[in-house]
Amino acid sequence: MTTEQLQLTDIKIDGGTQPREAISEETVAEYAEAIREGAKFPAVSVFCDGATHWLVDGFHRYHAHRRADKETIEAIVHQGTLRDAILHSLAANVDHGLRRTNADKRKAVMTMLTNELVATDADGNPWSNREVARRCAVSLDLVNRIRASLNESFSEEDPKPRSYTTKHGTKAVMKTGNINRNRKPQRKPGGIARNALMPTRGHSSPARKTALELPHDPHWAARGLLSAFGADFVRTLITELTNCMKGLDT
C-alpha cells in the first residue's frame, strides 16, 4: 500500500465499486468550493490490478476535484483485483464521509448477493448471511430480509420442475413455470362464484365457459345459470322460455 498523486483520468469509477446509491450533488459542490479555497481533503482509496486503478472510497472527493478543475488527486493505492476492490468498497464510508443511508446499505448487500464477481467466497460457495452482514457493516436482519426477497423472486421467475408418478406408475416431470400465471383472482364474497361457469361432472376435465356459452349438459347449464344470475332471474327466464317454446310448438 502506497500513497501517490494520481491523474484523475487514470482512475476508473465504473467497475461496480461505487458504494452509495447515488452521489450527492450538494456535497460535491460544497467540497469543490472548499478545494478551490485551498482546503486539503483525505486521500481517496483505489485498488490497482496492475493496469487499472479502481476507485473504492472517496467518490465525492473525486468528483469535487474534477469540478474544481484539478488534474490530480492524492490516493492510497492498494494492490488487488476488481473483485478485491468491490469487496473493499462494500463497507466504505462506515466511519467517515457522509453517513450511509438505508438505500446505501441495501445496495451494498445487493452487490454482495448478486454481483457475479463477489457473490461467492474463495471456494465458490455463496456467502453466509452473517458474513455478508459483517463485510457490508449492516445488521444480520437486513441481510436476512433481502436474501429472502431475492429467493422469492427467483422462485417465481424460474421455478424448478417437479417430478411425480403417473397413474400408470411411470415417472414424469412437471414444468411449473406457468402454474397460476394466468389465474384470475377470486371474486369477493357475495359475487359470482369463480367456478360457476366451469362445471365439473364425474372425472371430466373442466372447460372454461362464458356466460353465453353454457355446457351442453342441461343439469350443469341450469346450475351455472342459477349461480351466475340468481333464482329470481332464472324464474323469469323460465317463463320467457316457456312462452318461446309455445311459439315453436305451433
Q: How far, rounded to the nearest angstrom, does the alpha carbon of residue 169 sit from its chain's CA centroid?
A: 40
pLDDT band of residue 234 (cuts 50, 70, 90) is confident
Are 57 and 93 in contact by the 8 Å Cβ rule? The answer is yes
CA distances to 106, 120, 140, 143 from 131, rounded to whole Å, are: 15, 11, 9, 10
> Vertex 69, ends 66 and 59: CA angle to 5°?
15
Are 2 and 75 in contact by the 8 Å Cβ rule? The answer is no
117 φ, ψ (degrees, to nearest 5) = -70, -30
Looking at residue 212, its pLDDT comes to: 43
Task: For the chain, list the domains and their CATH numbers.
Answer: 2-155 (3.90.1530.10), 196-249 (no CATH)
pLDDT band of residue 220 (cuts 50, 70, 90) is low
Looking at residue 193, its pLDDT comes to: 40
Average pLDDT of the residues in 101-110:
91
Least confident of 126-130, 152-156, 210-214, 240-244: 210-214
CA atoms within 13 A on the CB side of 109: 28
Average pLDDT of the residues in 43-61:
94
CA distance linking residue 117 with residue 99, whole number of Å: 26
The pTM for the full model equals 0.58
Closest by Cα among 81, 84, 73 to 51 = 81
User: Reading across the β-sheet that carries 72-79, which strands appear in turn?
Assistant: 2-7, 72-79, 44-48, 53-57, 11-12
Task: Specify the 3-state DSSP secondary structure of 122.
Answer: coil
Helix (H) / strand (E) containing 55: strand 53-57
Looking at residue 201, its pLDDT comes to: 43
